[in-house]
Amino acid sequence: MATSDTNLADRSGSLLETHKSYQPRVIFFYFVIFALLATLVIGLAHEQLFNTARHLDSERMQNQRRILVPGPRGNIYDREGRLLVGNRPRFAVVLYLDELKSEFINEARIIRRNYAEAGDKDLPTRDQFNQIARVSVVQRYLDQVNGILQRTSTVDRVDLKKHFDRQLLLPYTLIDDLEPNDYAKLVERLPVKSPLQLYASSTRFYPYGSAAAHTLGYVGVETDIDVEDFPGEDLKTFKMKGTIGRDGLEKVFDSRLQGEAGGTIFRVSPAGYKINPPLEKRLPVQGRNLVTSLDIDLQRVAEEAIDDQTGAAVAIDVKTGEILVLASKPDYNLSDFSPRLTHAAAADIEARQAWTNHAISAAYPPGSTFKIITSIAALRSGAINPDDPIVDCEGTLRKYNHNFVCENGLVHHGEILLRDAIAESCDIYFYTAAWLTSVEKLAAEGKRFHLNEKTGIELPNETSRMVVPDPEWKMRTRDESWVPGDTAHMGIGQGDVLVTPLQMACFVASFARGETYTHPTLLHQADRPAQHSAPIGLKPEQMQAIIDGMEGCVTHGTAAKTLALASEKIPGGIRIAGKTGTAQVPGRKNVAWFICFAPIENPEIAMAVAVEGDTPNEAYQGGIYAVPVASAVLRKYFDKKAHPSAFVQPIKPE
Amino acid sequence: MPSKRLDQARPFLTLIIVVVAWLVLPVVVKTFTRAGFFELQAPLNVAASYARDLQEYWSLRLHTNDELIEASRDLARLNAQYEVAAQQNAGLQSEIERLEALLKLPAYAEYRSEHARVVRRDFSGWWQRIVIRKGRNYGIPVGAPVIFSGGVVGRVTEVYAYTSVVELISNPGVRLAGVIEGETQPISYQGGINPSFANARGVIEFVPLNVFANAAAPKRLVTSGLGGVFPPGLSIGTVVKVEPSTDGLFKTGEVELDPRLGSLTEVTVLVPLNPE
């Protein structure tokens, strides 16, 4: 019995729950749990204390978007304040897709239900449902506009998808470049609080169409606009398209004309929809204006006078170097570039070879206009004297085993003096003067007038193909020796001499001042000081002989036929000094030249005109083709001076 | 004790139930309810306006005969002036029609005039509108332009059986295409945020840069007629300020509206004869 009691006690004791203070297995788990908790706490502390900035940053990156809007470009004016290039408002009707979130969702639901009701087993995917819904909703809004404007436009699915995926925060353009009537209708008939809104942007506006096209230049689309000192550079940024100067003044002064971009930073929902109001906003600001030295009246007259010929005319203010006219033909209509140049228009410009600015990018032999430089070189070197005949022109001259012909010798010039040689453009005289002077001195004179280098005008694409040749140049470029015939040809501006019309205009302006260098500029300053450079170094009687010759060219010489008629119409009996030239390029089209300045007593305006012939080897004389262009410009210039009140316009502030 | 608490909370519960019920009601029901409420209210408003008319009538009856004779003389003079103006207008109208025919321009939309009494004015910072005593019973459509002797009043936004609601041009929700008198480019006019009892103003946008105006040399803003809703040449207000917008493309400005807009008693609804 006692045994059985003992066993019972043992058994009952084994059934009792007992706790020991030391349980190694449990304590192990305590450690594990503690370690895990500690890891979590430390991790949390680390993230909260040390990585807060990073998390805030990534949160900001995730839920904020930046939109940049370009500022309008500055205007370009002529010297009298007339608008040459401005900005034209361009109205579009746009749809703010980010305000249509609930409509898209509802539409997708309806479409899905319709599919289900129709029992269609070939169900589109979720994305496809959403796309169909978007197109359907946007088309509904577009139909509102169609109804008002009596149009039948439809939504471009691909374009809409691209816009939705990439630029949801930017308005989606439904119809662009609205006519004023359409714009007025939409203003009145679209609800004020509607996702459909009118959007105004700017595009370039050219009141004078093709006038000064090469000088003013054009703009192209710029997608990479930037805004200074605007926060959120690291945010996902949507950029509206801006413009960038691609040619002419638009290109050279792009940074000045370029407006300051504006920007907005929005918070967006996880689906990318905008939450108003914006966190940051800065309005775009228009770029600075540019006042050019061009006189649009003269510019248009020059272009009309050149008409459908190929060539250029440059007029320059003798005292300041400001360019009054920089005309080049053929040209293009700048309005074709706004808002963008079509392929057809580009092809047409290409076909007409109208891209080239012949005033600065085409290098021509100067022809007989170079005889002024030959005269200066010969007089300075003492090789000729104004009052001594150096040759008896019989139409041809046999020398160095060659026959040298006087191209202007329809009648024999006989024993001719410098004045008449210039007026009649006697080649034999200048062959002889060149030989007497030497090629080195001729070349040095050309270089002294900077005819071997770019003028540095504020335009792109000024050619560097100008050449003032000399024996060293010929040997270097052609590996040939210089021969006396080269000197003769150089003396009359033929052979290898190449200059641009702008260079010749600068040369005439320098000569008119009795100096050697004129820096041309296209910027107008009302108080710009007169330019000065090294004097020519001729004695007054020598200078007078050349000027007499140039005046004789206009009054009774090679330019007399056309310019004399024009002179009668120039008020106040203005005396003009000029020189014609006909550059003959074997196998190629000849070039008719005319350079001049006026009035002789107090020179104000200098000009150079170069017009290409339209048939190879055709006699294309400066007196016939280039003189009328200069004549028209001079007449307009002096007309404006005589009747200032009829032309003066207020100059707009810059 | 708990039942007493429940009794106390009953009004709040009822309010919550009503609000929730209103929120979940279909849009059609809500629209019907709103319209029904307005229609129910309309006879009261109309009756009140008739009472006001009667009040005015009796107040006029109190004037002396001399005053009435003087007023009728003024009226006769005014009528004579209007007669001359009407003849001039007829001459100008025929000249315009001749030129339009010559230039093959489309004629402006034609309208039928419906004169209506104002039964209620509702001016607040949020909306500015009036209720007029004609509605569907006179064939007034939504969107019809409303004018008075001083120019544009606004547009009809709601039409009921016997009344219509007209949103005034001082309301920010009204936008129309105007032109500065003498100019051709249409600009956008929109009502401004106008506090009660203040002179109403509107804002203009997309104003060409060559337009200058200020309080000393104001310019008149008239309807362009291009939008197709308002006929051309109706006065909107006076442009008293324009300033360049920062984008350099346009100017924006302020338009002072006719102060009589706040005390209108009679307006004319232009009902299009050939609505699009």
A554-563: pLDDT as tens digits = 888 777 766 5
- Shortest Cα–Cα distance, A177 to chain B (Å): 15
Residue pair B216/B256 in contact by the 8 Å Cβ criterion? no
Nearest-by-CA chain A residue for B188: A187
Residue pair A422/A550 in contact by the 8 Å Cβ criterion? yes
Domain boundary among A260, A291, A322: A291
- Is residue A533 domain-shared with residue A562, that is, in the same domain? yes
Cβ separation A192–B185 shorter than 8 A: no
- Shortest Cα–Cα distance, A268 to chain B (Å): 26
One-letter amino acid at A272 equals G
Q: Residue A511: its pLDDT value, please?
A: 96
Residue A420 per-residue DSSP state: H
Cβ separation A187–B176 shorter than 8 A: yes
In 3D, which of A90, A198, A100, A203 has the Cα closest to residue A149? A198
* CATH number (domain holding residue A394): 3.40.710.10
- Residue of A89, A91, A188 with shortest CB distance to B175: A188
CA dist A503 and A364 (Å) reads: 11
Tally of residues, chain B: 276
Three-state SS at B243: strand
What is the phi-psi region of residue B139: left when phi exceeds 0, alpha when psi lies from -120 to 50, beta otherwise? left
- Is residue A217 domain-shared with residue A301, that is, in the same domain? no
**Nearest-10 Cα torsion for B224, B226, B228, B229:** -20
Residue A338 has pLDDT above 90, yes or no: no
Cβ separation B177–A188 shorter than 8 A: yes
CA dist A257 and B2 (Å) reads: 79
Residue pair A346/A393 in contact by the 8 Å Cβ criterion? no
Tell me the three-class secondary structure of A168-190, residue by residue.
CCCCEEEECCCCHHHHHHHHHHC
- Is residue A325 domain-shared with residue A414, that is, in the same domain? yes
Residue pair A605/A318 in contact by the 8 Å Cβ criterion? yes
Q: Residue A52: its pLDDT value, please?
A: 83
Residue A153 has pLDDT above 60, yes or no: yes
Cβ separation A202–B249 shorter than 8 A: yes
Task: Give A-chain residues touching B227 at CB under 8 angstroms.
Answer: 184-185, 187-189
Cβ separation B186–A187 shorter than 8 A: yes
In 3D, which of A110, A182, A175 has the Cα closest to residue A138? A175
- Is residue A94 domain-shared with residue A241, that is, in the same domain? yes
- Shortest Cα–Cα distance, B228 to chain A (Å): 6
- Is residue A322 domain-shared with residue A246, that is, in the same domain? no
Domain boundary among A291, A315, A344: A291
Q: Residue A283: its pLDDT value, please?
A: 81
- Is residue A525 domain-shared with residue A635, that is, in the same domain? yes
- Is residue A450 domain-shared with residue A488, that is, in the same domain? yes
Superfamily for domain range B175-262: Rod shape-determining protein MreC, domain 2 (2.40.10.350)
Residue pair A620/A409 in contact by the 8 Å Cβ criterion? no
- Take residue B266 and report the two structure tokens written for it: 């009679």
* CATH number (domain holding residue A151): 3.90.1310.10
Nearest-by-CA chain B residue for A288: B248
One-letter amino acid at A616 equals P
Task: Give A-chain residues touching B177 at CB under 8 angstroms.
Answer: 183-185, 187-188
Three-state SS at A192: coil
Cβ separation A188–B230 shorter than 8 A: yes
Q: Residue B171: its pLDDT value, please?
A: 86
Residue A172, CA distances (Å) to A93, A162, A196 in order: 9, 10, 10
Q: Residue B127: its pLDDT value, please?
A: 67
Residue A66, CA distances (Å) to A228, A393, B1 in order: 13, 79, 60
- Is residue A125 domain-shared with residue A250, that is, in the same domain? yes
- Is residue A516 domain-shared with residue A590, that is, in the same domain? yes
Q: Tens of pLDDT along A435-488?
A: 999 999 999 999 999 999 999 999 999 999 999 999 999 999 989 999 999 999
Residue A328 has pLDDT above 90, yes or no: yes
Residues near A308 by Cβ (< 8 Å), separated by ≥ 6? A329, A330
Q: Residue A654: its pLDDT value, please?
A: 39
Q: Average pLDDT for residues A253-278, to the nearest whole number?
A: 79
In 3D, which of A563, A634, A564 has the Cα closest to residue A599? A634
Residues near B128 by Cβ (< 8 Å), separated by ≥ 6? B122, B167, B168, B170, B171, B191, B194, B200
Residues near A525 by Cβ (< 8 Å), separated by ≥ 6? A320, A322
The total domain count for chain A is 2
- Is residue A380 domain-shared with residue A280, that is, in the same domain? no
Tally of residues, chain A: 654
Q: Residue B204: its pLDDT value, please?
A: 92
Domain boundary among A234, A265, A291: A291
Nearest-by-CA chain B residue for A72: B247
Q: Residue A630: its pLDDT value, please?
A: 92
pLDDT tens for the 276 residues of chain B, in order? 566 677 778 888 889 999 999 888 888 888 888 888 888 888 888 888 888 888 888 888 888 889 889 989 999 999 999 999 999 999 998 888 888 788 776 666 688 889 999 998 877 655 688 999 999 999 999 999 999 988 999 999 999 988 999 999 988 888 999 999 888 888 999 988 776 667 788 989 888 877 888 889 999 999 988 888 888 889 999 999 998 765 666 788 899 999 888 888 899 999 988 776
Cβ separation B190–A192 shorter than 8 A: yes
Q: Average pLDDT for residues A45-74, to the nearest whole number?
A: 82
Residue A24 binned pLDDT confidence (cut-offs 50, 70, 90): confident
- Take residue A42 and report the two structure tokens written for it: 């430390």
Nearest-by-CA chain B residue for A285: B247
Q: Residue A281: its pLDDT value, please?
A: 81
**Residue A480 CB neighbours (<10 A):** 10
Residues near B200 by Cβ (< 8 Å), separated by ≥ 6? B128, B168, B170, B191, B192, B194, B257, B259, B261, B262
Q: Residue A106: its pLDDT value, please?
A: 92
- Residue of B206, B227, B249 with shortest CB distance to A188: B227
Cβ separation B224–A202 shorter than 8 A: no
- What is the percent of chain A where pLDDT is above 90? 48
Residue A553 has pLDDT above 80, yes or no: yes
Cβ separation B248–A192 shorter than 8 A: no
Residues near B53 by Cβ (< 8 Å), separated by ≥ 6? B117
Sort strands A172-175 and A274-282 into parallel, antiparallel or unpaired. Answer: unpaired
Q: Average pLDDT for residues A189-198, to the nearest whole number?
A: 86
The separation between CA B244 and the C-alpha centre of its own chain, rounded to angstroms, equals 29
- Domain membership flag for residue A181: yes
Residue A417 has pLDDT above 80, yes or no: yes
CA dist A468 and A493 (Å) reads: 10
For A515-604, where are the E strands, in sequence order?
A: 577-583, 589-598
CA dist B269 and B138 (Å) reads: 10
Q: Average pLDDT for residues A148-169, to the nearest whole number?
A: 88
Residue A566 binned pLDDT confidence (cut-offs 50, 70, 90): low
Q: Average pLDDT for residues A537-548, to the nearest whole number?
A: 94
Q: Backbone phi, then psi, for A630, in 5-degree steps?
A: -65, -40
Residues near A123 by Cβ (< 8 Å), separated by ≥ 6? A115
Sort strands B164-168 and B175-180 into parallel, antiparallel or unpaired. Answer: unpaired
Cβ separation B226–A89 shorter than 8 A: no
Q: Residue A199: its pLDDT value, please?
A: 83
Which has the higher per-residue pLDDT, A119 or A502?
A: A502
Q: Residue A523: its pLDDT value, please?
A: 95
Q: Which residues of B touch A (CB under 8 A)?
A: 172-177, 185-186, 188, 190, 206, 224, 226-230, 245-250
Q: Tens of pLDDT along B123-156?
A: 765 568 899 999 999 999 999 999 998 899 999 9
- Residue of B185, B206, B227 with shortest CB distance to A185: B227
For A228-309, where are the E strands, in sequence order?
A: 236-239, 242-245, 262-268, 274-282, 290-291
Q: What does A24-93 look like in DSSP terms, one character per residue?
A: HHHHHHHHHHHHHHHHHHHHHHIIIIISHHHHHHHHHHHHEEEEEEPPPPPPEE-TTS-EEEEEEEEEEE
In 3D, which of B262, B275, B274 has the Cα closest to residue B118? B262
Cβ separation B228–A185 shorter than 8 A: yes
Q: Residue A652: its pLDDT value, please?
A: 44
Residue pair A259/A71 in contact by the 8 Å Cβ criterion? yes
Residue pair A582/A595 in contact by the 8 Å Cβ criterion? no
Task: Please state the pTM of the whole predicted model.
Answer: 0.70
CA dist A54 and A652 (Å) reads: 52
Nearest-by-CA chain B residue for A70: B247
In 3D, which of A94, A221, A223 has the Cα closest to residue A160? A94
- Domain membership flag for residue A48: no
Place of tokens 């809004």: A141
Residue A634, CA distances (Å) to A301, A567, A569, A640 in order: 10, 9, 10, 10
Nearest-by-CA chain A residue for B177: A184
Residues near A56 by Cβ (< 8 Å), separated by ≥ 6? none
Q: Residue A17: its pLDDT value, please?
A: 56
Nearest-by-CA chain A residue for B154: A188
Q: Residue B248: its pLDDT value, please?
A: 60
Nearest-by-CA chain A residue for B190: A192
- Residue of B177, B246, B249 with shortest CB distance to A87: B249
Instruction: List the single range of A32-46, A604-618, B57-71 with lowest mean pLDDT.
Output: A604-618
Residue B46, CA distances (Å) to A412, B55, B157 in order: 110, 14, 18
Q: What angle do CA A18, A24, A25 make, to 5 degrees?
A: 90
- Domain membership flag for residue A58: no
Cβ separation B247–A181 shorter than 8 A: no
Looking at the DSSP bridge assignments, the partners of residue B222 are B179, B235
Q: Which residues of A touch B (CB under 8 A)?
A: 71-72, 87, 89, 91, 180-181, 183-185, 187-190, 192-193, 198, 200, 202, 259, 262, 283-287
Average confidence score pLDDT of chain A: 86
**Residue A155 CB neighbours (<10 A):** 20
Residue A403 binned pLDDT confidence (cut-offs 50, 70, 90): confident
Residue A256 binned pLDDT confidence (cut-offs 50, 70, 90): very high
- Residue of A188, A200, A285 with shortest CB distance to B206: A200
Residue A498 has pLDDT above 80, yes or no: yes
Three-state SS at A563: helix
Residue A409, CA distances (Å) to A251, A373, A434, A550 in order: 47, 21, 18, 18
- Residue of B188, B248, B250 with shortest CB distance to A187: B188
Q: Select from A188, A227, A264 the residue whose CB has the most chain B CBs within 10 Å, as the one to mutate to test that interface.
A: A188
Domain that holds residue A371: 296-332+357-646
Q: Residue A10: its pLDDT value, please?
A: 52
Task: Give B-chain residues touching A258 at CB under 8 angstroms.
Answer: none
Q: Residue A621: its pLDDT value, please?
A: 66
- Shortest Cα–Cα distance, B56 to chain A (Å): 37
Residue A397 has pLDDT above 90, yes or no: no
- Is residue A464 domain-shared with residue A365, that is, in the same domain? yes
- Domain membership flag for residue A12: no
- Is residue A156 domain-shared with residue A259, that is, in the same domain? yes
Residue pair B133/B49 in contact by the 8 Å Cβ criterion? yes
- What is the percent of chain A where pLDDT is above 70? 89
